[in-house]
Amino acid sequence: MIRSHVLVCGGTGCTSSGSAQVRERLEEELKNKGLADEIKVVQTGCFGLCALGPIMIVYPEGTFYSMVKPEDVPEIVEEHLLKGRIVERLVYNETGEAKGEEEAEAASLSETAFYKKQKRVALRNCGVINPELIDEYIAMDGYFALAKCLKEMTPDEVIKVILDSGLRGRGGGGFPTGRKWQFARASVSDKKYVICNADEGDPGAFMDRSVLEGDPHAVLEAMAIAGYAIGADEGWIYVRAEYPIAVKRLKIAIEQAREYGLLGKNIFGTDFNFDIHIRLGAGAFVCGEETALITSIEGNRGEPRPRPPFPAVKGLWGQPTIVNNVETYANIAQIILNGAEWFRSFGTAGSPGTKVFALTGKIKNTGLVEVPMGTTLREVIEEIGGGIPNGKKFKAAQTGGPSCGCLPDSLIDTPIDFDNLIQAGSMMGSGGLIVMDEDTCMVDMAKFFLEFTVDESCGKCSPCRIGTVRLLEILDKITSGNGEMEDLDKLEELASYIKSASLCALGQTAPNPVLSTLRFFRDEYIAHIVEKRCPAGVCKGLLRFTVDPAKCKGCKLCMRNCPAGAISVNPNNEITEGNKLPYVVIDTSKCVKCGACLDNCKFGAISKK
- Range in 237-251, 472-486, 578-592 with the lowest mean pLDDT: 578-592
Query: Residue 525 to residues 54, 336, 434, 479: CA-CA distances in angstroms?
Result: 42, 50, 21, 9
Averaged pLDDT for residues 276-295:
93
CA 455 to chain centre: 20
Same domain (yes/no): 177, 281: yes
Q: What is the pTM of this model?
A: 0.90
For residue 71, the domain's CATH number is: 3.40.30.10
Is 538 a member of any domain? no
**Alpha-carbon span 605 to 583, nearest angstrom:** 10
Binned at pLDDT 50, 70 and 90, residue 256 comes out as very high
The answer to whether 303 and 309 are in contact (CB under 8 A) is no
The answer to whether 431 and 357 are in contact (CB under 8 A) is yes
Averaged pLDDT for residues 291-306:
94
Q: Which pLDDT does position 556 carry in this prediction?
A: 86
Same domain (yes/no): 567, 499: no
The answer to whether 187 and 320 are in contact (CB under 8 A) is yes
Q: Which pLDDT does position 94 carry in this prediction?
A: 67
Same domain (yes/no): 427, 450: no
Is pLDDT above 60 for 100? no
Range with the largest mean pLDDT of 47-51, 86-90, 101-105:
86-90
Convert the pLDDT of each residue in 592-606 to its tens digit: 888 889 888 988 888
Averaged pLDDT for residues 322-343:
97
The answer to whether 268 and 150 are in contact (CB under 8 A) is yes
Binned at pLDDT 50, 70 and 90, residue 574 comes out as low
**Alpha-carbon span 30 to 22, nearest angstrom:** 12
Same domain (yes/no): 206, 91: no
Q: How many domains does the chain have?
A: 5
Convert the pLDDT of each residue in 448-459 to its tens digit: 999 999 999 998
For residue 195, the domain's CATH number is: 3.40.50.11540
* b/e per residue 408-426 (b: at least 16 CB within 10 A): bbebbebbbbbebbeebbb
For residue 520, the domain's CATH number is: 1.20.1440.230
Averaged pLDDT for residues 330-339:
98
Instruction: Round the CA-based radius of gyration of the chain to a whole number and report it.
Output: 27
Closest C-alpha among 87, 63, 67, 65 to residue 76: 87
Closest C-alpha among 137, 107, 50 to residue 369: 50
Same domain (yes/no): 424, 448: no
Examine the fold and report which residue of 384, 402, 437 is the final residue of a domain before the chain moves on: 437
Same domain (yes/no): 294, 170: yes
Task: State the chain's mean pLDDT as an integer.
Answer: 91
Is pLDDT above 80 for 408? yes
Same domain (yes/no): 556, 600: yes
Is pLDDT above 60 for 577? no
The answer to whether 395 and 406 are in contact (CB under 8 A) is no
Instruction: Give 140 or 589, the one with higher predicted confidence.
Output: 140
Same domain (yes/no): 486, 339: no
For residue 590, the domain's CATH number is: 3.30.70.20
The answer to whether 60 and 230 are in contact (CB under 8 A) is no
Q: Is 50 helix (H, G, I), strand (E, B) or coil?
A: helix
Is 157 a member of any domain? yes
Same domain (yes/no): 302, 243: yes
Percent of the chain scored above 90 by pLDDT? 72
Is 272 a member of any domain? yes
For residue 379, the domain's CATH number is: 3.10.20.600
The answer to whether 230 and 273 are in contact (CB under 8 A) is no
Is pLDDT above 60 for 134? yes
Q: Which pLDDT does position 95 carry in this prediction?
A: 52
The answer to whether 438 and 393 are in contact (CB under 8 A) is yes
- Range in 31-35, 203-207, 220-224, 505-509 with the lowest mean pLDDT: 203-207
Averaged pLDDT for residues 225-238:
98
**Helix residue ranges, H only, 418-555:** 418-424, 442-456, 462-465, 467-479, 486-501, 505-509, 512-520, 522-530
**Helix residue ranges, H only, 480-595:** 486-501, 505-509, 512-520, 522-530, 557-561
Q: Which pLDDT does position 320 carry in this prediction?
A: 98
Same domain (yes/no): 334, 256: yes
Binned at pLDDT 50, 70 and 90, residue 72 comes out as very high
Is pLDDT above 50 for 228? yes
Binned at pLDDT 50, 70 and 90, residue 98 comes out as very low
**Alpha-carbon span 449 to 472, nearest angstrom:** 10
Return the bridge partners of 324, or none.
196
Residue 52 CB burial class (10 angstroms; 0-12, 13-18, ≥19): buried
Same domain (yes/no): 432, 446: no
Is 9 a member of any domain? yes
Range with the largest mean pLDDT of 84-88, 157-161, 556-560:
157-161
Is 121 a member of any domain? no
Examine the fold and report which residue of 496, 530, 564 is the final residue of a domain before the chain moves on: 530
Percent of the chain scored above 70 by pLDDT? 96
Same domain (yes/no): 188, 329: yes
Residue 356 CB burial class (10 angstroms; 0-12, 13-18, ≥19): buried
Is 349 a member of any domain? no
Q: Which pLDDT does position 587 carry in this prediction?
A: 86
Range with the largest mean pLDDT of 47-56, 106-115, 422-431:
47-56
Longest dimension (CA), the chain: 98
Is pLDDT above 70 for 375? yes
**Number of alpha carbons in the 13 Å side-chain half-sphere of residue 37:** 2
Q: Which residue type is seen at 298?
A: E
Is pLDDT above 70 for 579? no
Examine the fold and report which residue of 319, 344, 369 is the final residue of a domain before the chain moves on: 344
Is 125 a member of any domain? no
The answer for residues whose C-beta is within 8 angstroms of residue 424's C-beta and 6 or more apart is 405, 407, 411, 414
Binned at pLDDT 50, 70 and 90, residue 463 comes out as very high
Convert the pLDDT of each residue in 28-64 to its tens digit: 999 999 999 999 999 999 998 888 889 999 999 889 9
Averaged pLDDT for residues 102-109:
50
Q: Which pLDDT does position 144 carry in this prediction?
A: 98
DSSP string, 282-337: ---GGGGSHHHHHHHHTTS------SSSPTTTS-GGGS-EEEEEHHHHHHHHHHHH
**Alpha-carbon span 301 to 316, nearest angstrom:** 14
**Alpha-carbon span 344 to 371, nearest angstrom:** 14
Q: Which pLDDT does position 106 carry in this prediction?
A: 43
By residue range, what is the domain housing residue 572? 544-608
Is 520 a member of any domain? yes
Is pLDDT above 60 for 192? yes
